[in-house]
A and B are shown apart, each in its own frame.
Chain A
Amino acid sequence: MRNFIIRRLLYAIPTLIGISIITFVIVRLSPGDPIRFFVFGQRDITGEDIERLRHAYGLDKPIPLQYVDWLIAMVQLNFGQSFIYHQDAFQLLLGRVPATLQLAVVALALQLLVGVPLGVIAALKRGTWSDGMIRVFGVAGHAVPAFWLGLVLIIVFAVQLRWLPSQGMLTVGKDVWDLPDRLRHILLPAFVLSLTGIANYSRILRTETLDVLSQDFVRTAHAKGLHERTVVFVHALRNALIPVVTALGGILAGLVGGALVVEQVFSWPGVGQFTFQAAIAKDYPIVQAATMFVSALLVASYLLRDIAYAIVDPRIKAG
């Protein structure tokens, strides 16, 4: 097991290097001079000043050298100063992490708590009306544009019914620890963010449960005279849940990507919204810090997924 984890950790290094190259290239080779954005609106700047700034930021060196400089700084979590806020980009980004984390955790919980039971119910009631409905939902849930669903929910629940707030994390002026208020704010965005995952899990669990239920050990359990509930929840479900672990990597990627759009719709002050605004403003240090941060997070989650999978299913280690 230890060797497996070490090998898997070593595999992550080339991936991270690859990500850093893409992150660097997409920003550094972009049209336009970053210095221009940096000095935008300052009239008394001379060409000489621009040259000095370019030198100060190392922008006059060849591109591969700039990459190495950038990489060395990045490993020390130094992505440079934000062009707009004139503060450390990584620190600014970290400030936005808790908001996204809250949203992602609630969405993930919703996905598991709703998606898994839906799939199991569909499998147990195979061929019935409720199975049909859940299967339709399993496909339709993938096909809904999340940002549009967000808009529709805002129209219905915030504008028409006035039940829930449409924007932000909490009502201005309320106490930061006002939990009911926070809950009301997180409900709509978390639901929108979780929809694809709910659909995904319900599909996976339906197929898996059906597969497991047709296996010999389930028949044996039945033949032993065990209660139906024991067979389903103790024998079948435990095995059907293995793919939930495997799917988690993809689901997390979906959450991170989805959060970018959802945060925009609901003005949720998280990493996604921050990155979006930075990208629009061409605030490169923040864009680079965010891309590296999010991707490193995904690499770590794929890593954890593989390790968890190896624990759940010992056959993996051999392969």
Chain B
Amino acid sequence: MATNTATIRVPTAAEAILLRPPRSLWSNAWYKLRHDRLTMIAFGILLLLALLSAAADLFAQNVFNYTFEKQDLLNTYQKPTFDPPAYLLGSDEIGRSQVVRLLYGGRVSLAVGFVAALVNLTVGVTIGLTAGYFRGRIDDLFTWFVTTLNSIPTIFLLLIFAAIWEPGPVTLTIVIGLLFWTGISLYVRGQTFALREREFVVAAKTIGAKPTRIMFKHILPNILPLIFVLAAIDIGAIILTESALSYLGLGILPPTPSWGNLLTNATSYFVRAWWLVVSPGVLIFLTVLCLYLIGDGLRDALDPRLKAEK
């Protein structure tokens, strides 16, 4: 009889969580993300921008019937109009289609952001893990180098490098990647410090695992979630830096278009054509905003400690 009543009893909310099939960190995060409307919208917009930029050739040929370099000196400074569609966002000082140029520019700006972020994540994570795991001399050297690099304003260093060395787009991307890793590596190092003392690392060491295996197979998976958060914010910061540099005429140089260098001439013609100034900036702003929102959303979804708060 007593057992019967126990089985009928309705489980409490806490028990209900215990009773449901277990979720891994990732599936749990995905579940939370799907219910985070703001993050999903941001993700959608970013994806749309990326797809539009990736398909720039298709759009230029089929929708706008206007190539990237095509000029039309009879139709300079056209206001935004639906007819012809190429002037959807107006035309510039030599009659080029702003919307087509923006699509191609997006391709470059997004590519720079993602590739440079990949470079700095690889560098930052590797160096951070190494310094945090081995400590001692290696860590001293690391701390010295990071403090040094952090004491020179990045944009200063980048601008001087770009002005003096005049790098091409690929070199510039890699250099940006090599300058932005300090934040990530400091974070990874801190986490590694804490994790290397934990039982599972000691256990792995006991059975003779090599340092590289411990760092990448045992410690890294534990840090990975928040690395994604940092990556999203990082890409945003890089896109902003690249656009400023290109605007100043030192980053991605014409004829290669980028959202930043579309604004370079803006200073001289904004009195006649303000719409040419607005659109590239709005796209940069929108992209970076989406990335930051995704970063925030990921942080909420991936950090189990925040569960109680929301």
Tell me the A residues contacting B by CB distance below 8 Å. Answer: 11, 14-15, 18-19, 22-23, 26-27, 30-31, 139-140, 142-149, 151-152, 154-155, 159, 253, 256-258, 260-261, 264-265, 275-276, 279-280, 282, 284, 287, 290-291, 294-295, 298-299, 302
B180 at the interface (CB under 8 A from A): no
Cα distance A257–B150 when bound, in Å? 12
Q: Is the CB of B263 within 8 A of A147?
A: yes
8 contacts between A and B (CB under 8 A): A31-B166, A151-B277, A155-B277, A260-B155, A280-B163, A282-B163, A291-B152, A298-B153
Given the interface pairs A22-B157, A139-B293, A261-B155, the reply to whether A276 lies near B248 with Cβ below 8 Å is yes
Question: Nearest 5 CB-CB pairs, A to B?
Answer: A18-B148, A148-B281, A279-B163, A257-B153, A143-B288
Given the interface pairs A15-B147, A26-B164, the reply to whether A275 lies near B288 with Cβ below 8 Å is no
* B163 surroundings in chain A (CB, below 8 A): 276, 279-280, 282
Cα distance A147–B288 when bound, in Å? 15
Q: Is the CB of A146 within 8 A of B152?
A: no
Cα distance A11–B236 when bound, in Å? 32
Cα distance A302–B146 when bound, in Å? 14
* A149 surroundings in chain B (CB, below 8 A): 281
Q: Is the CB of B164 within 8 A of A294?
A: no
Tell me the B residues contacting A by CB distance below 8 Å. Answer: 144-145, 147-157, 159-161, 163-166, 236, 240, 243-244, 247-248, 250, 260, 263, 266-267, 270-271, 274, 277-278, 280-281, 284-285, 288-289, 291-293, 296
Cα distance A298–B289 when bound, in Å? 28
* B164 interface neighbour in A30, A146, A155, Cβ under 8 Å: A30
Residues of B contacting A: mostly:
helix
* A302 surroundings in chain B (CB, below 8 A): 151
- In the complex formed, the residue of A with least CB distance to B239 is A145
Q: Is the CB of A26 within 8 A of B278?
A: no
Q: Is the CB of B152 within 8 A of A294?
A: yes
Task: Tell me the minimal C-beta distance from A166 to chain B in angstroms.
Answer: 10
* A282 surroundings in chain B (CB, below 8 A): 163-164
Q: Is the CB of B151 within 8 A of A295?
A: yes
Task: Tell me the minimal C-beta distance from B122 to chain A in angstroms.
Answer: 21
Cα distance A2–B35 when bound, in Å? 53
Task: Tell me the minimal C-beta distance from A277 to chain B in angstroms.
Answer: 10
* A261 interface neighbour in B157, B244, B291, B292, Cβ under 8 Å: B244
